[in-house]
Amino acid sequence: MSSLVRTTAPVKQLFQLQELYDVLRITSSTSGDDIVLSAYLEAATQWVEGLAGISIMKQGWTLKADQFPYNRDGFDRRYPLGKPILLPRGPVLTIDTFTYQDLNNVTQNINTPSFFQAALDERPSALYPPYNGFFPTALWVPGAMNIIFTCGMSGATDDPTKVDSAVKMAVKFLVAHWNENREPVPVNMSLQKLPYSLESMLWSARNGHRFDWEKYYGFGNYWY
């Protein structure tokens, strides 16, 4: 089993409220409007991030798994090329902590290049076993492998201007939609899905393909 949890929230927002006022053609506002739009902005940002598998502003995530994703055959022999550890959120800026529980249940820190190869520019980012080697053997306990990483389209300087234009447009699009339709179920109106343009905006920014968690981090034939 595995889990992915955001452990450090973004410090900055993608937009200042005035930028949203310009998009929504709001000429005057109240504190109540500011509260509502701030909530819409945060929710829209998280929705877009979840759909595309990305992090927009710089933030920290923790990936935990019960074991390393080994490739093995029926005789319990490891294949020369082990499976990579895929990081479901990107783009990844740094690998901050990489630890595991060894067979003596002692936490070992392996955040050095000699223990793994980092391909942070891939989509999704991946950590490979060392060249001509393997990931270490971990004790099979919940959360035996623990990776803390920092990611964000805003880059190391957390600059909103570095965020992809299509992602910005998608967030604005969604904020405008929620501001115009504030009830979950409109009265006397036909229900329609959000226009396809919203998802198409995010196509180029998606964090690689959508992958099956069980395939890479679960049990069964994919694990051995």
24-56 pLDDT, tens digit each: 777 766 667 788 889 999 999 999 998 888 999
Cis amide bond preceding 91, omega within 30: yes
Q: Where are the domains of the chain?
A: 1-224
Is the predicted pLDDT of residue 13 greater than 50, yes or no?
A: yes
Beta bridge partners of 127: 85, 118
pLDDT 10s digits, 125-184? 989 888 777 888 888 888 899 999 999 999 999 999 999 998 998 999 889 888 887 666
Is the predicted pLDDT of residue 219 greater than 70, yes or no?
A: no
Query: What are the backbone angles phi and psi of residue 215, rounded to the nearest 5°?
Result: -65, -40
Q: What DSSP string runs through 150-192?
A: EE-TTTTTT-GGGS-HHHHHHHHHHHHHHHH--SSS-TTS---
| Per-residue pLDDT, 117 | 87
Is the predicted pLDDT of residue 218 greater than 70, yes or no?
A: no
Beta bridge partners of 109: 99
- Its pTM stands at 0.79
Residue-wise burial string across 62-81, b where 16 or more C-beta atoms lie within 10 A, e elsewhere: bbbbbbbbbbeeeeeeeeee
| Per-residue pLDDT, 214 | 47
Lowest mean pLDDT among 103-112, 161-170, 185-194, 215-224: 215-224
Alpha carbons 64 and 217: distance in angstroms, whole number: 9
| Per-residue pLDDT, 58 | 97
